[in-house]
Structure formats: C-alpha cells, structure tokens
Structure 1
Amino acid sequence: MKTRRNFLRNALLGLTSAPILPTWRQAASAGSAGAITGELPSLVPNPVARKHRNLFNGDTCVYFYNPEYWQPEDFTVKRVINPRTGKLNEKPTLEGGPFSARSIHRYVDVLADNGIDTFIINANASRAWYPSKTIPSILDGYKRGDRDFFRGHAIALGLKDPEAVETFLDGYVPFMNLYQDLLDAGVDWLAETTRACRRRQLSPWVSIRMNDMHGARNFEGSFFNAPMLTRKEMRLKNNWYGYHNSPTRQGLNYEKQEVRNFMFAQIREVVEDYDFEGLELDWWRLPLCCEPTASPQTVAMMTDWFRQIRALTEKQARKAGRPFPLGMRIPGRLDILKVIGLDVVTLCQEGTLDFISPSGFWCTTWDMPYDTLRKQVGDRVAIYGVIEDGVNTLATSNQESSYTQAMRYLSASPEIMRANAAGKLAMGADGIEWFNFFCTDQPRVPGQKADYSVIKDIHQLNSLRGYPKHYSFAIGGQLNNYLPYELPAQLPAILPNNSHHAFKLAMCAEPSQARPDQAGMELVIQIIVKADDDVTFLPVSFNGSWPETKRECVESLLFPCGPLTHFTSQHVGHNFRFPVSLVRDGWNEVLVENAGKNPVTVVCVELAIRPKAD
C-alpha cells in the first residue's frame, strides 16, 4: 500500500466531517509508528476478528422457513387435504398463525445460546424484503390471498405445467402471508432483528445482495425483480458464454450511474435508519458487476464507489460511538473479480474493507487457499471461513435406498461441521461465518434437522481437536457450480492404469493422546468410485506415507448425515486406515494410485477422524 495514497484518502474522508471519536482503526495505531506513517502496526492484526469470531448469516426468509420451530404454539406441519384438488398433498403443509415477532426473538435466542456473537441479516434480494421507505419492497401492491401476484415467479422457476404452477402457489401464498402478518401488525422484521440482537448482546450486521437474480427467468413478470431489472439497457450483456444460462447472468450493470445510485440508496437506508453495526456486501448473490473485461477506468470508478460506502459507515460509526466494519462475501478467485470491476486487493490494502468472506456459491469449500489470500489482502483484514450448507454434489441415500438427495446438507452432520471449520481455521481463517445453515430444515425431511448446538465454540480450533470429523472435497461438473468464479474442483478425476493423482485439502492436526471422553482415533480415507469400475489395485498414500493397499469395499458413508447413510447404486467406496498422527495443520495430501489394468474414476474422496475399529 502506498503511504501517500493512504494519506490522501484519509485526508479526503476527514473533510467529510470532523471525527467525534477515533475510529477503531485510528485507535489501534495510536501511539505507534503507524500513526506517523499512515500504516497500521503489525502488532494489531485483524481488530474486527477480536470481537466477531462466530458469525451467522441469515437470509430474508430465515425466520419464515420453519415457523413451526420458532412459534410452535401457533403453527403445525401436517399432511392435509388440498381444498383446491380434494386430494392429499404430497408434502407437509404449514397451518396456523398469525406469524409474530416472537419467532424472531426465539431464533436469535437459539443463536445466542449456541455461541454466535454476530448475526448478519440479509435485507434484500433484488427488491427490499423489509418495508423499505427508499426502494421497492417485495410485497408492494400485494393483497392477502392474491395468487396472481406470485404467478409470474412460477414461470421464473421454470414451471410450465398448469397444475405444477397451481401446486407451487398452494404453498407459496401462505408462505408470503407470513410477511404480510407482520406488516399488518406494524412490525418491521429487519428492525426487530436488531432489537432481538441487542437484547441478547449479539452484534447485528446487515448483508446486502449486490445482484440477486432469483427472478431472472421472467424479468417482467416475477415479483422478485426490482423495476430497474425490467430495463434491458440497465442489464449486463456480456457476462455469459457457452451453455451458461444467460438470464441469470444479466444482472444490473454497475457501470451505469443509475444502478449505483439505486444500490447506494438502499445501503444508506439500512446503515443510517437501522441499528446495525456492520455491513456485508454480498457479491456471491451474484458475482455480476461490470462487463468483462473491465477497463482500469471502470475498476477505479467502482473502487471510488466503495470508498463512498466506507465514508458512510465511518460516519455512522462516529455517530453511534462504536465500530462499523465493512466487508464483502465473495468468491475466492480475486483476479477474476477484478475482471468484472471488483478490485478486492486494493480495497483491503488501503483500508476500505475490514473483512472478506471467501466462499463457494452453494457448496462449502474444502480447499480455500487462505494462506494465499492472506498474502494478497494483508494482515489487517479479517478473513472469515464461510461454511455453506451444501457438502458437495455426491448423491447419497438412506439405508433402504427409498430416499435420495443430490446433495447432503452439512448442518445435519456434527462431524462434517467440525471438519469443515477445522480445516478453515487451521489454514488461518480468523473466524467462521455460517451461510444457508437453516436450509437443512426447510424441506422438512424426516430425520434431517440442523444441529445448532455444534456451532458453539466452533471458531476455536483447539476445541475441535480430538473429536470425530468428516472431511470431503468439492465436485465439479455438477449443478450449483457458478463458473468461472468457483475454485477449480479437484474431482472427479480419471486415473489411467499405472498412474497416480494427488489431492490436497485443509485439515487440523489431532492430539497424540485421545481425550478422556473419546476412544483412540484413527484416520479413514474413503475413495469413492463408479460402481462398475474394475478396481483391482488402488493404493493410497497420505502425506508421504508408504502406499496402503489393504482396503475394505463399502456401500455406506463414513458418518451419517441426517437420514443419509449410503451411496446410491452408482457408487461404491473403498476404505483405507491410517494413524491419526499423520494428519497435520493446514494442507494435507491424499495420493491415489491406480496399479490395476483398467481406468478408474475417482468420484469423491472423503476422510474421517473416528474411533479405531476393533
């Protein structure tokens, strides 16, 4: 970072208004060499992470997905006769109401009771989902029970069959009426969130989705879309290629002053008119900003725009007398972000951003290079390890094969939660941010429920050592991969005969002796291949060990994930056992060798830290 650039920027921001109290950044450097040079001392890294270590990101529907959990005295879920068709509904139906602010407070109670220190609530999609006074809100013009209001969104979801549309409306209208319940009662759920957080001493932050495209397949008809999205001249034109779906790539074009004004107005509203104390700009919903490849002038224009947001949050910090961190949830590929106008490295190095939360789009990451990111953005920025709710796209089933899911929900498995957090922390992440945690509960699958108790103390690496864990890898070439922004997936991989392939992932080392409440542990590596592959010799080495050839062919997962316990009929697993002492903090290597005569497709690799088998 250029000292002169930093000095000039601070001088310009200082002209906005005289500070009433030092910002947290100024206080950190007071009395040090940094106060003279304009740079922060290395003795005070990541001041944001001192207070904010275990973050929970809730979307606009977080309270509303499962009110039977948060307001059980008024809501039940059961299968009922549909009055429109006269037939039994295939899925459980939510009955009861009205929805009240009690649900919001109870949800925040659960977060506080289980160790969350910072609640990041998402305020918008394309429209505001709260009763905004500044931009269009999601239910503007809606009258309770008006099915036609939502009909255009069914088209955006790809529903074409008339009966499928009506079935969608059967469930969606009651869901949106929960928001109407609060409007009728004069409750602003976004403001109520901050009140609930203050009551339980959680830090309330707000997240703004910068280009949400949930209604993109019907720009004119979906109630999700802000009016500006209906104007083709305001949308991106060159952000897609090949077979990527073009409507979801036609987000608002931030090169347009009108777009920047629209988004800034909403950001100003949630910063100035609500009691938040942190702002996250969510560029993973979606990574659409400017036309690629953005010119240096366009990148500079966007960087200046973010500095204006920074000035807004600093002003609010002075007004409230407390810090107001500003950060971004982003893909981990910073170079490709700069191509669309987002110069994250400069924003971090100059002090405009206080934190970044690199992540995957829907599936969690297992190999995010936090070490490399740290070198790029510097020591003063907090880097959060984001745990998404999707494990990967390995299809799994229950033991009877009567129920199959294309993707496991991570928050249904304590072992997977621990492993994903441990790998991120061991790589240097400053804390954990949970994203889509609650989606596990949304489909109301028997035996599948998010385990909130596991999130307590999960941001402390040493509290995870010695406990069972279930690691995995990302899988490419499937749904829920938003290219080119995702990290390149290491799997699947085809191994010709007489070849080997190394896979790396982040893990944490385990104690040399078992905890008093745990049996002795071992490392089990599971190589998952196609069921019809001819596997003869498949040696596996871990962190340079001599290849292990002894294996056990299995049909079951290393640990259950809710009701999911087995592979589908398309896959089988081969388990290899190793001493747990081989596991180290940070990068670990699994080397798979095909010593047979025929090619083998490695579909997935999973690892377990679990009690030793007899």
Structure 2
Amino acid sequence: MDFKGVRAMNTRDLKPRGPWRVLHTSDMGTYFRTGTWLFGDPATPEDIRAWVAQLAQSGVDAYVQEVYFDGFSMFYRTDRCDYGETENLSRFDQMMEDGVNPLDIYVDEARKQGMPLLAGFRMNDRHGNNEAFFKAHPDWMIEELGHGVNFALQQVQDWFFAIVEEVPDRFDVDGIELNFTRHGFCFPPATSAESHLIMTDLMRRLRAMLDRTGETKGRKLLFGVRVPPSLSGCIDLGFDIPTWIDEGIIDFVAPTSYHRTDYNAQYDEFVELARRTDCLVYPALEGDVPGRVDVVSMDQCRAAVHNFNGAGADGFSTHNYDAYTWGQRRSRLLPGVAENYPAALDRFKVLKDASTVAAGNRHYLFHPLFPEEHFPNGYRGAPIPHIKAVLPRNTPDASANYRFRVCEDLPDKVDLPVGHVGRYSGTFNSFGKIPGAWLIFRAIGMVPGDRIKVSLNGIEVPDEHIRHIWFQEGRPHWEGRTLPPFTECRLTLTSPPGVYGDNILGLELFESATDAKGDIVVDELEVIVHVDD
C-alpha cells in the first residue's frame, strides 16, 4: 500500500499559546449584506457597536475587520484609493458625511469590549468590481487572470504599501492581517513560485512600518497573514511562509482554504515551523459545506476544530463564517438569519475549549472543495486539487488509495446490541446518538455485481463488515453536488485498523460487474464520531 502523504503526528500533546482562541474575520461587509435586519440603512454607530459587542459576548477573542478589497477602501474614505460604493456599503455614506468614520467606531467598541481589532486587507481580490481602476492601470493587471494586480511591479508594491500604511497610522487598530486567499495569485502564474523574494521584501517593508508606527503609539502592532492551507501551495504562489516565520515578520498565520473548511489539511506543518518562534497558528473554520447549499453543522464545526487542536494549533480563526447570515439572499434551502444569528456565533463558546469540543459528537467531511466538473480552472484560477481514488475497470487488479485525517482516539470496538425485534437495544449518549465511530464513502460508478476489497492502513476489512447501499438514481441537485449512480459503503471505524491522524483507505477492484462501464471513483468520504459519555 502507498502511504505517500502520511505525516507522523507529533503535535497532539501541544498546548495552545497566546491569549486568543477565537480569531473572527468579517469578510468585507458580508455579515450585514443588504436589508436592515442587522444594520440599518443608513447605518448608525449604535449598529456597529451592537455587532462588535455581540462578537465579544459570543466568545471572540480578537477581531479582524477587512477594510480593503479590489482597489477599494471600506468603512473609511481616503485619497489613496477609491471607496467601495457597493449596495451594502452605501449605508455608511451618511455617517461619513456627518464626519464619523465607521472604522473608528469598530475600533472604539472593540477596545471597550477588551477585544483587539486588526484591519484586514485582501491582497489581490479578483471579483472584478473596480472597472475604473482596471481601465486606469491596464499595465498593472495580471493578464492571464483578467483581474488582479502584478506585485512583481514596484509601482504596484508602492501603491499597495501606501494604502496599508495609512490605516495603522490614522486609526488606532491593533495591527493588520493580509488575506492572501483572496484570491491566491499575486504574480503571473508562470512566475509565481520564483517571485517569493519580491513578496518577502514587501513583507519586511510592512513589518518595519508597523514597528515604526507601533513605537509612536507605545505598543507593538500585530502582523498576521491568511494563506492557503499547505506550505507547498503557498510556495507555489510565491509566499515563503518559513522565512516569514523564522525572521519574525509575522505574529500569526491563519491557514485557510478558499471558501470551504479543509478537514484534511495537514496544519501541523505550519505548527512545527511556528513553534520554533512566537508565531501563532489559527486554521480557518468556514461556513459553507463543500458542494451543498448548506452551512456546517455544530458536529462538523467540532470535527474541524478537533483536527486543528490535534495539529497543535493555538486556536482557530473564521473565514466566510458570515454564510450563516446569507440565507435570505442565497437559497430557501439554506437556513436563514432567524435560525442562525446570533446562535451560530454562540458556538464559539464551545469551540474555543478543547475539552468541550472533545465531549461532543463530530462529523468530518472529506469532500472535493471545488469539484473539477464545476471548477475546471480551480477557484478563480487558483489550483485546488480534486482529491480522488480511481479504480479503472480496464486495469486488472486495479487499486487506489485515499488519505483522510481524523485526530481521534478511536474505540477498539463498537457494540451494537440488538433486541428480539431487531432493534438497537444499547445505550445512547447525551445527544441521543449511538456511541461509536463510522466511516462512509461513496463509490461513484460502482454497481451491483462489482466487488471491491477495502483496507484501512493496509489491513483488509472483511466484506461482511461493510454495508453497501446502491443509489441507482444518483444524487439530485437539491441534496447538494449532483452525482451519477453510486454505491455508498458504510463500516464501523475502530483502532486497529484506524489510527490517530492520517489514515489510508485502500480500494481494489477484483471483480467487475458484467457490462459495467466507466471507472469507479471515490472522492467523498465522511467520518462520524458519537462520543460515549
């Protein structure tokens, strides 16, 4: 069996450092969107104060309010770039005409709540909203991507530096966060990896600026980055995280996927670097479920944070968590505002404590974040691997593997006693669930008559221990990502053969159904853990 990609977990006993466990990032103005259910129109300082106070009451320890995207400022006006006159941001116009900067209110209320506030900057947002800017600076654009500026150009670096420099000088923020996940490329794709020296020089320049400004204010200003969730992915884009950490350029790093929580990322590779210094690590919890018009459940939040904790993270951050407030705009199938606000924020009180996370049920989702059939060019041009195990029918004894990570001390057995009428007769946990752990995977193209061998970490799982469910009609769009006919395979998950950390699901096609066509593909896997309390 090929164990490529498996990392030894040396971080499970590490204790979190620093004063923060929950770093909440408000992504642009997506938490209030349109409508007046949260902020009035026009908005008032009291609206802002109530929002910031709610975050503090919900357990948020530090707050990043993004103030810049796509060549636009937000929540303050400046002569260094245009203001984002979007439908949802225009509600602040009256406040600014009255001489009040919304950003000042955010900062002041955060300080009253004892919560540091950092200004967030999207490094290279490519939503394409700022048409006037694109037309004024066509030579600054990354042509292959249509939008986004080329940081290889000195004039682009100077322009961006001036925008960032003004904010900690003019406003009493506690630092800045650069969001590199909006949207990945800062250089032409062909030269990104080799451009890391350019970006590191800009990072050093920003660090020096923060130190100068902090000295005048009598306190250190913090510098954080939000980056893709693998070191190799960062290097490919020209982001030299090891150097940024080792030189003390950054105070924290938030490994973040594009829009969806990556349960499978090996966040411990960031932790092992950061633990050599005082740099802190806050992997990101996001609101959307991959491939579904849905938001993550509490069990799914616990699973993500449990893996973060197992990797030795110092807490967690949020990104696109504001999806909980989008229900009225996106889909009737997506739970709406009344159900999820502020209840979804109150989850932080549970998630910030490793013991309460471990005491609750957990549901791990290993789904393609951006399926290639819908996103052939990745997310806005940024490459996102579509992880899959493929069993080709035309290859005798074909085999394939799928790596998945669960930082779980799995049970050595799962007891499922059955009474005389064939019903479960055992105990239930305090959540009303049967204690145990289960592995579920979907084999697309596997039909009745196909026979596959299933192994876990090189140990074969007897076929009679696997329940096969044939979905002849596949999965319809109202249940999420559409799937052609598939077989769902379910089995109890114990140790052995399961292990804490990275596991390898092995598959081998040893008998193909008559007249069956097409490969068998597994790209969705889930692990459900019900605690025994």
Q: What TM-score, normalized by structure 2, do the two folds share?
A: 0.78
- Unaligned 5+ runs, structure 1: 1-45, 75-96, 141-171, 216-221, 241-245, 396-404, 556-562
Aligned counterpart in structure 2 of residue 274 of structure 1, from 149, 171, 191: 171
**2: CA distance, partners of 1:510 / 1:486:** 33
Contact kept, 8 Å, 1:357 with 1:433, in 2: the verdict is: yes
Residue 409 of structure 1 pairs with residue 288 of structure 2: no
Residue 477 of structure 1 pairs with residue 372 of structure 2: yes
Q: Which amino acid aligns with 1:391?
A: V
Deviation for aligned residue 1:532: 7.4
**2: CA distance, partners of 1:294 / 1:370:** 26
**2: CA distance, partners of 1:498 / 1:177:** 62
Deviation for aligned residue 1:438: 0.9
Deviation for aligned residue 1:489: 3.1
Residue 424 of structure 1 pairs with residue 288 of structure 2: no
Range that drifts further, 113-122 or 587-596: 587-596
Contact kept, 8 Å, 2:407 with 2:501, in 1: the verdict is: yes
Aligned counterpart in structure 2 of residue 131 of structure 1, from 57, 62, 76: 76
Aligned counterpart in structure 1 of residue 150 of structure 2, from 246, 253, 256: 253
Pair 356,421 (structure 1): closer, same or farther in 2 beyond 3 Å: same
**2: CA distance, partners of 1:571 / 1:532:** 8
Aligned equivalent of 2:526 = 606
Contact kept, 8 Å, 2:140 with 2:150, in 1: the verdict is: yes
**1: CA distance, partners of 2:140 / 2:118:** 29
1:376-525 paired onto structure 2 within 5 Å: 379-380=276-277, 381-393=279-291, 395=292, 405=293, 408-410=294-296, 413-444=297-328, 445-446=331-332, 448-449=335-336, 450=340, 451-475=344-368, 476-479=371-374, 481-482=378-379, 485-486=382-383, 488-491=385-388, 493-494=390-391, 496=393, 498-510=397-409, 517-518=430-431, 520-525=434-439
Aligned counterpart in structure 1 of residue 119 of structure 2, from 187, 197, 206: 206
Aligned counterpart in structure 2 of residue 348 of structure 1, from 236, 241, 245: 245
Aligned counterpart in structure 2 of residue 285 of structure 1, from 165, 171, 182: 182
**2: CA distance, partners of 1:573 / 1:115:** 42
Contact kept, 8 Å, 1:500 with 1:593, in 2: the verdict is: yes
Pair 551,440 (structure 1): closer, same or farther in 2 beyond 3 Å: same
- Secondary structure of the residue that 2:82 maps to in structure 1? coil
Residue 117 of structure 1 pairs with residue 61 of structure 2: yes
**2: CA distance, partners of 1:253 / 1:482:** 18
**2: CA distance, partners of 1:115 / 1:132:** 31
**1: CA distance, partners of 2:17 / 2:132:** 35
Aligned equivalent of 1:553 = 469
Pair 342,535 (structure 1): closer, same or farther in 2 beyond 3 Å: same
- Secondary structure of the residue that 2:112 maps to in structure 1? helix
Q: What TM-score, normalized by structure 1, do the two folds share?
A: 0.68
**2: CA distance, partners of 1:226 / 1:368:** 38
- Secondary structure of the residue that 2:301 maps to in structure 1? helix
1:23-172 paired onto structure 2 within 5 Å: 49-65=17-33, 68-71=36-39, 97-126=41-70, 127-139=72-84
Larger RCO, structures 1/2 (Cα 8 Å, 6+ apart): 2
- Unaligned 5+ runs, structure 2: 1-13, 413-426, 472-476, 514-518
Contact kept, 8 Å, 1:474 with 1:491, in 2: the verdict is: no
**2: CA distance, partners of 1:529 / 1:115:** 41
Contact kept, 8 Å, 1:388 with 1:435, in 2: the verdict is: yes
Pair 503,335 (structure 1): closer, same or farther in 2 beyond 3 Å: closer
Q: Which amino acid aligns with 1:578?
A: T
Contact kept, 8 Å, 2:286 with 2:321, in 1: the verdict is: yes
Contact kept, 8 Å, 1:470 with 1:609, in 2: the verdict is: yes
**1: CA distance, partners of 2:356 / 2:55:** 19
Pair 252,423 (structure 1): closer, same or farther in 2 beyond 3 Å: same
Alpha carbon RMSD of aligned pairs, Å? 3.5
Pair 324,465 (structure 1): closer, same or farther in 2 beyond 3 Å: same
- Secondary structure of the residue that 1:124 maps to in structure 2? strand
- Secondary structure of the residue that 2:283 maps to in structure 1? strand
Residue 235 of structure 1 pairs with residue 121 of structure 2: no
Aligned equivalent of 1:591 = 506
Aligned equivalent of 1:530 = 444
**2: CA distance, partners of 1:298 / 1:547:** 47
- Secondary structure of the residue that 1:55 maps to in structure 2? strand
Pair 443,295 (structure 1): closer, same or farther in 2 beyond 3 Å: closer
Deviation for aligned residue 1:121: 0.8
Deviation for aligned residue 1:551: 0.3
Pair 462,584 (structure 1): closer, same or farther in 2 beyond 3 Å: farther
Deviation for aligned residue 1:505: 2.3
Percent identity, aligned pairs only, is 19
Deviation for aligned residue 1:209: 0.9
**2: CA distance, partners of 1:61 / 1:492:** 39
Please give the per-residue CA displacement for 1:384-434, whole angstroms capped at 9, x wherever unaligned. 2112233322x5xxxxxxxxx3xx332xx1111111121222122222111
Please give the per-residue CA displacement for 1:26-65, whole angstroms capped at 9, x wherever unaligned. xxxxxxxxxxxxxxxxxxxx99941122111102213422
Residue 182 of structure 1 pairs with residue 95 of structure 2: yes
**2: CA distance, partners of 1:316 / 1:357:** 24
- Secondary structure of the residue that 2:124 maps to in structure 1? coil
Contact kept, 8 Å, 1:533 with 1:600, in 2: the verdict is: no
Deviation for aligned residue 1:131: 2.4
**2: CA distance, partners of 1:70 / 1:214:** 25
**2: CA distance, partners of 1:47 / 1:227:** 46
**1: CA distance, partners of 2:481 / 2:82:** 44
Pair 448,311 (structure 1): closer, same or farther in 2 beyond 3 Å: same
- Secondary structure of the residue that 1:305 maps to in structure 2? helix
Pair 566,271 (structure 1): closer, same or farther in 2 beyond 3 Å: closer
Pair 181,439 (structure 1): closer, same or farther in 2 beyond 3 Å: farther
Pair 65,342 (structure 1): closer, same or farther in 2 beyond 3 Å: same
Contact kept, 8 Å, 2:447 with 2:487, in 1: the verdict is: no
Deviation for aligned residue 1:234: 1.4
Deviation for aligned residue 1:333: 4.3
Contact kept, 8 Å, 1:212 with 1:286, in 2: the verdict is: yes
Aligned counterpart in structure 1 of residue 220 of structure 2, from 323, 343, 346: 323
Contact kept, 8 Å, 2:428 with 2:435, in 1: the verdict is: no
Please give the per-residue CA displacement for 1:89-113, whole angstroms capped at 9, x wherever unaligned. xxxxxxxx43323332222233222
Range that drifts further, 585-594 or 202-211: 585-594
Q: Which amino acid aligns with 2:91?
A: L
Pair 177,277 (structure 1): closer, same or farther in 2 beyond 3 Å: closer
Deviation for aligned residue 1:358: 1.9
Q: Which amino acid aligns with 1:235?
A: M
Deviation for aligned residue 1:326: 1.1
Aligned equivalent of 1:195 = 108
Pair 369,532 (structure 1): closer, same or farther in 2 beyond 3 Å: closer
Range that drifts further, 373-382 or 99-108: 373-382
**1: CA distance, partners of 2:389 / 2:429:** 39
Contact kept, 8 Å, 1:535 with 1:600, in 2: the verdict is: no
